[in-house]
Structure 1
Amino acid sequence: MSVTDTEVIDMWGIPKWDHNKIILGITDHLGWADKTEQGEHLLALQEKLNAYIAFIESGDIYTEIPGALGKSPIIRIIGKYELSEQGELLVDRATEVLKEVGIGLEFVLKQDDVTDNE
């Protein structure tokens, strides 16, 4: 499961603090180091977002996740690396468009926890 696998919803959950929402998570492990990597990353992220949007708009969300009925969907991108400038533009624009159709979008930076064993 990852941003590169458009056939799979990586994860989903209904927050305990807000039973009116359902969060669909995208795990994004790709970096943004150079232009080639950025281009491939943007394309992968856009394709994954489109797959999630289709999953919601087709109603498949309700047959695959019966508890989703009546809940507001939020797509959460869980990134290993900070967004590049182009990545931020994509997320910002997608957030605006999706808001109009009742779908939330957010990016969360989730870096690996590093523990010091000394």
Structure 2
Amino acid sequence: MSILDTNVVDIVALDPSKGIARLIISDHLEWTNPVDEHLLLLQEKINRYLRFLEGGELEQHYPDAERCKCEIEIAMKFEPSSEALHFIGKAREIVQGAGFDLVYQVG
């Protein structure tokens, strides 16, 4: 599963001892032109993850996540472009407004 599968949650990582549920988006795409297509895929994927969280699906499938702080992590293979960083900043505001967090890492 990856960013190309926009209707699927790629990875769920639970750490009940730390109280964290991390939903990971696996992004293996380069940030080359056309960047808009990549951003659209990322937007669709983030929206899917928000529906998964807000609809209670996380707790249905992973009961141990019930009291966990939830965050969406974008695991990128390539360094994001300036456009991508701007988008992630705006998306973070929306995700935080819904009561969750949005982070990214490259590696």
**In 2, Cα distance between equivalents of 1:66 and 1:9:** 16
Q: Which letter does structure 2 place at the counterpart of 1:67? A: D
In the alignment, what sits opposite 1:4?
A: 4
In the alignment, what sits opposite 1:116?
A: none
Structure 1 residues 58-113: Cα deviation after superposition (integer angstroms, max 9, x where no partner): 11111111111011110000000111111111111111122122111001001xxx
* Structure 1 residues not aligned, in runs of 5+: 111-118
**In 1, Cα distance between equivalents of 2:40 and 2:3:** 10
Matched, 1:77 2:74: yes
Residue 20 of structure 1, CA deviation? 1.3
Larger Rg: 1
* Structure 2 residues not aligned, in runs of 5+: none
Describe how 1:24-63 pairs up with structure 2 within 5 A: 24-34=23-33, 36=34, 38-63=35-60
Identity %: 34
Q: TM-score, normalised by structure 2?
A: 0.93
Structure 1 residues 19-73: Cα deviation after superposition (integer angstroms, max 9, x where no partner): 2110000100111122x2x111000000000000000001111111111101111
Matched, 1:88 2:85: yes
Question: Deviating runs (4+, > 4 A) in structure 1?
Answer: none
RCO comparison, higher one (Cα < 8 Å, 6+):
2
Q: Secondary structure at the match of 1:14?
A: strand
In the alignment, what sits opposite 1:115?
A: none
